[in-house]
Amino acid sequence: MRVLITGARGFIAKNLIATLENITAGKDGTYCLSEEISLYKYSRDLGKETLQVFCRDCDFVFYLAGVNRPRDPDEYWEGNVLLLKYMLEALKDQMNCCPIMYASSIHAESKNPYGESKRAGEELLYQYSKDTGVPVYIYRLPNVFGKWSRPNYNSVVATFCYNLARDLPIQIHQPEKKLELVYIDDVVRTLVNLLSVVEHGDMKNPISMKDIYHVSLQEIADLLASFKRSRVDGQIPDMKAESFSQRLYSTYLTYLPKEQIKYPCIMNRDSRGSFTELFRTEDRGQVSVNVTKPGFVKGEHWHHTKNEKFIVVKGTGLIRLRKIDSNEILDFHVSGEIIEVVDIPAGYAHNIINIGEEDLVTIMWASECFHREMPDTFSLKVEEE
């Protein structure tokens, strides 16, 4: 299948191209394509002659070209209407009846140059479809966010991410204003699945856009501020699959300047080694890394409710447990050579001993984050003297 993508250097097109270039027909479980994809990637700098060549034998068109924020309002008409008209004429002249997807906007109803140009593009396509019988898919996209969106151009989300990552101010004139937002991966999935619709000949029921988030500007700003703080306090935001928070966090990280890609953790050191909290979550506890020097013992405490999981990834150690009302000691030999999980139940005194000759490195998960005012941690040696 030969697929023409206009606006190939734009935000949506770049994500679509990256997906289509990595699909192997019949082997990608996400999509139902039965043949290989060839891409014709068109941007205005290639000239209209190149577009005419692409129109000669393409099997599907994703019309993603468009102008959002030109210096001259006349550019709206040039970028959103005239180029589309030229392409439609080229397809018609060459008797190419391939389906066309057109990226419109929810602002097509707005009485401003941008909205009017998008609406004019829609009307061109409706008339073209009426005249030729060619299927057209017009999507009035809400605000699209995700990786590779240009700040101060594509979306307010991109601008907020870019500015907050660089300690630049953001402007919120209407904090409670709700935005309709859709994530770039959902847009791309919908577009790619249109190719499956074409392959199977079902032109009447294109897949509709879904998963639209309704979020206020203040909510977006607050979430992004929490992401920035997480690099200090270790508090990981809600990562529920396909949640707005998860997808906004993924977007935010793509705007970090190089010097912020790496950041330090706070290590608590003493003669026995070190203990470092890595991540904290509201409902999934915390993850830490513990380093124990050879010959030293760590732990010697128990918890009422908190339970932990110890995973030794380097060195050789001994984990010992004793129920607080029992004299029986349970010994578990552990090593970085064999990755195993040792559960530490509530109500058991426990310790970890480095019995090797190198540092013992242990990943520790606790069901609750540590809070100094309510530590749920009580000193008690496993082996009483």
Of 220, 247, 276, the residue that ends a domain is 220
Does residue 148 form part of some domain? yes
Give yes or no: residues 70 and 214 share one domain: yes
Does residue 333 form part of some domain? yes
Give yes or no: residues 274 and 195 share one domain: no
Dist. CA 144–CA 378, nearest whole Å:
51
Give yes or no: residues 321 and 201 share one domain: no
Give yes or no: residues 215 and 272 share one domain: no
Angle between helices 244-253 and 217-233 (to 10 degrees): 60
Beta partners for 178?
Answer: 216
Total domains in the chain come to 2
Q: Where are the alpha helices (DSSP H) in 60-112?
A: 74-77, 83-93
Closest-CA residue to 15 (of 152, 121, 145): 145
Give yes or no: residues 20 and 135 share one domain: yes
DSSP string, 212-224: -EEEEHHHHHHHH
Does residue 359 form part of some domain? yes
Does residue 134 form part of some domain? yes
Supply the range of the domain harboring residue 361: 267-379
In sequence order, which residues have a C-beta less than 8 Å from that of residue 231 and are 6 or more positions away? 260, 263
Does residue 113 form part of some domain? yes
Of 187, 220, 253, the residue that ends a domain is 220
Give yes or no: residues 292 and 159 share one domain: no
217 φ/ψ angles, rounded to the nearest 5 degrees:
-60, -40
Does residue 23 form part of some domain? yes
Whether 114 is catalytic: yes
Give yes or no: residues 32 and 153 share one domain: yes
Of 185, 220, 255, the residue that ends a domain is 220
DSSP string, 297-335: EEEEEE-SS--EEEEEEESEEEEEEEETT----EEEEEE
Closest-CA residue to 83 (of 97, 95, 66): 66
Angle between helices 113-132 and 83-93 (to 10 degrees): 10
Does residue 226 form part of some domain? no
Give yes or no: residues 19 and 139 share one domain: yes
Give yes or no: residues 136 and 77 share one domain: yes
Domain of residue 358, CATH code: 2.60.120.10
* pTM of the predicted model as reported, rounded to 2 decimal places: 0.86
Given the residues 114, 128, 249, 255, the one annotated as active site: 114
Does residue 228 form part of some domain? no
By CB neighbour count within 10 A (0-12 exposed, 13-18 middle, 19+ buried), where does 202 fall?
exposed
For every one of its 385 residues, what pLDDT tens digit does the chain have, with 9 covering 90 and above? Answer: 899 999 999 999 999 999 998 875 555 555 656 678 899 999 988 999 999 999 999 999 999 987 766 666 677 777 778 899 999 999 999 999 999 999 998 888 888 877 888 899 999 999 999 999 999 999 999 999 999 999 988 789 999 999 999 999 999 999 999 999 999 999 999 899 888 776 544 444 344 556 789 999 999 999 999 999 999 888 888 888 889 999 999 999 999 999 999 999 999 999 999 999 999 998 889 999 999 999 999 999 999 999 999 999 999 999 999 999 999 999 999 999 999 999 999 999 999 999 999 999 999 999 998 887 778 999 999 997 6
Domain of residue 10, CATH code: 3.40.50.720
